[in-house]
Amino acid sequence: MNWLKSLFNRKKSKENSRKIKVKMSSISEAILSHLKMKTSGALLLTGDWGSGKTYHVKNTVFPVIEEKTDFIPIIVSLYGETDKNNIAQKVLFSYFDKKGENANLSTGTIAKNIKSFTDAIPIIKKYIDVDKLITGTGDNIFKLLPHNQLLICFDDIERMSKKIDINDFLGIINDLVENNGCKVLLIANEEQIDEGISFKEKTIEKTIHFTPNISEILDDILDNYEDSFKDYIAKNKDFLLGTLKAEIDNDKEKVELRKSFSNIRTLKFAIEHFYYAFLIVKNKKELNDELTKKQLKSIWIFILAISIEFRKPKNISFIERKNLDKQTTSISDIDFSQFDFSGTSDKKEVKEDEWSYSNNFKKLYYNRLSESYIFYPEVYNLITAGKSINTEKYLKHLELSFNVVEGKINPSHELLARFMHGYWTFTNEEFKEKLEKLLNYSEKGELGDLVSYLNAGVYLLGFVDLFEFTKEEIVIKLKEGLSVFFNKVQLSYLMKSQLNMVSGQFKEENLQNVIAFISEKIKEIEKENDKKEAERLEKLFENDIESLVKEFLPQHTDIRTPDKPIFHEFNAELVKDSIPKWDAKGIMDFTSLLKIRYLDTGFSERLTDELSFLEAIESGIANIDMNEKVLSNNIMQSQLIPRINECKTRLTEYKNALP
C-alpha cells in the first residue's frame, strides 16, 4: 500500500517531528502501558463532560506517544454520527490528516483524489473496488492502515446517534482490536453511555478515570493573555484554585459543583469575562492596594458563579435574574443557622422559587467560601447579554458595594464583615474588644444599611456573655444608632424591601424588638415624607399640570410606586381653583394620567381614598362657563368629564367591595 502513501506525499520524517517538551501524566503512562502490552480489548478514558479529556489526550498524551513510540495516534469524533458506514471512513481520513504535511484535506477532497488517481491508472481498479473503499464499513478501508502502529481514539461515544446499533459499533471495535491488531482508546463520559455495563463487559479491557489538573489547565488557558493579567493570576493562583474546590456538605450538590468547576469550557468562559472586568480596574486603580485586591477577588467569585449558572440550560438570563440582583445587604447574607436563638429548626422542604434559588446560589458560591455576596449589574450584563461595561457605573458601584469612604472601606463594615465571615479567627484576648467596638459603631449609627444593624445584633446578642453589657442595653444602643442612621439617609424602596426580605430570619426576641422599632421609624418617616411630597405635587397641580403628569408616566415608575394614594391630600379648594387655569394641552395630559393611574393598572383598588380628589375636580369644572366655545371647554366636555366618570365608577366598585 505504499502507492497510497506516496499519493498524498504526506509522510513526515523523524527529523521533522514536533520539537516539544514532553509532559508526562498518569494518563499518558497508562496509555503507553496499553500500547506495549498484548491486549484483547479497548481502553476507556472516562470523565465528566467538559472536563478536558479530549484536550488532554490531544495536547499531552499524543505528544508523549509520538515522542516515545512508533505508534501513530489519531482521534475520531462520533458526535451525532448516524451511519455506521461513516466510521471506517472517518478513521481513514483522520489517518491521512495525521500523516499529512502542511495540509488538512477534507473528506470530499480525499475521496475525489483517490478516485481521480484510479481513473488515471485503471489497473488499480482490478485490485480495489474504489466505490466500496469510499463507502464501505471497514474491511477494505482498514486494510489501508498500519495495523500494528496505529492508536485509534474514538471520542464522544455517548453522543453517537441512537440510529447506530450499539452491537454494530462493538463489532467495529472488536474487528479493529482482534482482527486488525489496532490499539483502540474510547473517550467518553461513562455515566452517559447507554447500556454502559454491557458495553464495558464486551469491549473494554481497562478503564482510566480522568480527573483534570485545574492548575495546569489554568496555566494553559492564560497563555494567550497579556502579562499583567497573567501576573495577577499567578500571584492569586491559590485563591482562584480555592474557589474551584467543591467543599460542601450536601453530596449531590457537591458532585454537581465539582463537575461545574472542572468544565474547561465554563472555566475559559469565566476567565475571558474576568479579563475584561480586570482591565477596567487595573486602568483606574492600584493593583497592589489592599482594597483593590479584595474587590477583584469579589468580582472573580461573582463571574465564576454567574458563568456556571448562565451556561446551564433554561436557567438565568439577561432578563430572568431569579432575584440575584435583589441583594439583602451590602455586605453579605448571613448564615442564620449558626445563630438560631429560637431553639427550633424548620427543616421543611421548600419548593424552589426565585428566592430559594437566590439563597441556594449564595450558599453554594459564597457561604462555601465565607465570602460576601455582591451583585455587579454591569458584569452581569456583560456575561448574559454581551453588553459593554460602563466604566463609570461599574467603578461607582464597586466603591458603594464595599462602603468605601475616601478610598478606604468603612471600618464599621470591615469589622462586621470579619464577624460574619470568620469571627472564629479572633483570639480570645481580642474578641471582647472587637465586640465592644462593633457595639460602639452600631450605637453611633456608622453602619450603612438597616440589615447590617440586625447582623451586628446577631453577634452582639449571641455573645452577650463575653462582654460587659446586657441584652436590654444592647437593644437600646442599637435603637440609638438606628435613629442616627435614619437622620443621615433618605428612606428608599430598596431599604424597605431589603428589610422585608430578611426580617423573618431574625427570630430572636430582642432582634424582633429592633425590627419593630425600625418599622415604626419607617412609618413615621414615610408619613412625614408623604406630607412633604403632597405639598410639592400640590404646587405642580396648581401651577404646572404638564410637569405633574410627567412625574406619573410609566417611565418613572421606578421613582414612584403607582399604588400609593397621595392626591387625596391636596387641598380641595386649591383643586377647584386650579382647574380653570388649565389650557387644552394640560387638560388632555391630565385626562391621559387618569387612564394610566386608575384604569390601566391592577393597583387602582388601593387608590379609593382619591375619590375625594376626583370629586373636587368635578366641582372645579362646574364653576367653568361651558357655554364659551373654546378648545379647552371642548376637550373638557368630550374627554376629561367622561374619563372622570369612568374612574369614579371603577374606584367606587372597589370601595364597595371592601369588607
Mean pLDDT of 141-156: 75
**Position 188 pLDDT exceeds 90:** no
CB 41 within 8 A of CB 177: yes
Count other C-beta atoms under 10 Å from residue 101's C-beta.
Answer: 11
Angle between helices 290-310 and 354-365 (to 10 degrees): 130
Q: In this predicted structure, what is the pLDDT of residue 371? A: 81
φ and ψ at residue 366, rounded to 5 degrees = -120, -55
Residues 601-608: contacts with CB under 8 Å, at least 24 apart: 601/562, 601/563, 603/561, 603/562, 603/563, 604/650, 604/651, 604/654, 605/654, 606/563, 606/564, 606/565, 607/563, 607/565, 607/651, 608/565, 608/651, 608/654, 608/655, 608/658
Contact 243, 301 (CB under 8 A): yes
pLDDT tens, 570-592?
A: 999 999 999 999 999 999 999 99
Alpha-carbon distance values, 306 to 167, 260, 364 (Å)? 42, 12, 12
Phi-psi region of 283 (alpha: psi -120 to 50; beta: other; left: phi over 0): alpha
CB-based contacts of 606, cutoff 8 Å, min separation 6:
563, 564, 565
- Return the bridge partners of 208, or none: 45
Residue 425 contacts residue 470 (beta carbons within 8 Å): no
- Which region among 81-85, 265-269, 277-281, 520-524 has the lowest average model confidence (pLDDT)? 81-85
Query: In the predicted model, is pLDDT for residue 432 greater than 80?
Result: yes
The DSSP call for residue 209 is E
61 band by pLDDT with thresholds 50, 70 and 90: confident
Residue 430 reports pLDDT greater than 50: yes
Interior/surface letters 203-215, b for 16+ CB within 10 angstroms, e for the rest: bbeeebebebebe
pLDDT-derived band at 15 (thresholds 50, 70, 90) equals very low
d(CA 417, CA 448): 13
Going by pLDDT thresholds of 50, 70 and 90, the confidence category of residue 195 is: low
Higher pLDDT, 484 or 32: 484
Q: How confident is the model at residue 610, as a pLDDT?
A: 93
Residue 144 has pLDDT above 80, yes or no: no
Q: What is the mean pLDDT of residues 505-532?
A: 89
pLDDT tens figures, 317-363: 999 998 888 755 433 344 444 444 444 444 444 445 556 788 888 88
- The pTM of this model reads 0.58
C-alpha cell at 62: 499524543
Whether 570 contacts 613, CB under 8 Å: yes
State the Cα–Cα distance between residues 77 and 154, nearest whole angstrom: 6
- Closest by Cα among 31, 96, 94 to 68: 31
- How far, in Å, CA of 655 to CA of 651, rounded? 6
Buried b (16+ CB within 10 A) or exposed e, 268-304: bbbbebbbebbebbbeebeeeeebbbbbbbbbbbbbb
513 exposure class (CB count in 10 Å sphere: 0-12, 13-18, 19+)? middle
Reported in sequence order, the residue ranges of 115-167 that DSSP labels E, i.e. its strands, are 150-155
Phi, psi angles (nearest 5°) of residue 559: -95, -45
The whole-angstrom separation of Cα 161 and Cα 292 is 50
Per-residue pLDDT tens digits for 70-120: 888 888 888 887 777 778 778 877 777 776 643 344 444 445 455 454 454
Q: What is the pLDDT of residues 212-255, one digit of tens each?
A: 777 877 888 888 898 999 999 999 999 998 998 877 767 777 77
504 to 452, 458, 509, 632: CA distances (angstroms):
15, 13, 12, 54
Is pLDDT larger for residue 329 or for residue 188? 188
Distance (Å, rounded) from C-alpha 46 to C-alpha 189? 5
Instruction: Tell me if 186 sits within 8 A of 44, measured CB to CB.
Output: yes
Percent of the chain whose predicted confidence (pLDDT) is above 90? 32
| Contact (Cβ atoms closer than 8 angstroms) between residue 272 and residue 246 | no
Edge-to-edge strand ranges of the sheet holding 72-77: 72-77, 150-155, 183-188, 42-46, 204-209
Cα dihedral 477, 482, 485, 489 in deg (nearest 10) = 180
Is it the case that residue 469 has pLDDT exceeding 80?
Answer: yes
The pLDDT score that the predictor gives to residue 239 is 92
The whole-angstrom separation of Cα 625 and Cα 641 is: 14
- Amino acid 192: pLDDT: 63
Contact between 68 and 31 under an 8 Å Cβ cutoff? The reply is no
Residue 646: partners with Cβ closer than 8 Å, 6 or more residues away: 598, 599
Residue 383 C-alpha cell reads as 456575561
- pLDDT at position 343 is 40
DSSP code at position 337: G
d(CA 184, CA 177): 7
206 — phi, psi (to 5°)? -145, 155
Q: What mean pLDDT comes out for the span 53-70? A: 84
544, amino acid identity: D
Helices (H), 285-403: 290-310, 354-365, 377-385, 391-401
First-residue to last-residue Cα distance in the chain: 95
138: pLDDT strictly greater than 60: no
pLDDT of residue 146: 65
Amino acid at 604: S
Contact 302, 379 (CB under 8 A): yes
DSSP result, 299-319: HHHHHHHHHHHHTSTT---SS
Query: pLDDT digit string (tens) for 173-185?
Result: 887 887 777 888 8
pLDDT at residue number 130: 53
**Confidence band for 19, pLDDT divided at 50, 70 and 90:** very low
∠ CA 544-547-550, rounded to 5°: 150
Report the DSSP beta bridge partners of residue 408: 405
On average, the pLDDT of the chain sits at 79
Task: Give pLDDT, residue 423.
Answer: 85
- Write the pLDDT tens digit of every residue in 284-323: 999 988 889 989 999 999 999 999 999 888 889 999 998 8
Between vectors from CA 483 to CA 477 and to CA 487, what angle results, nearest 5°? 150
By mean pLDDT, which of 154-158, 320-324, 373-377, 425-429 is the weakest?
154-158
> 3-state secondary structure string, 432-449?
HHHHHHHHHHHHCCCCCC
Nearest to 531 by CA among 571, 496, 487: 571
Question: Looking at the predicted structure, is the pLDDT value of residue 18 above 50?
Answer: no
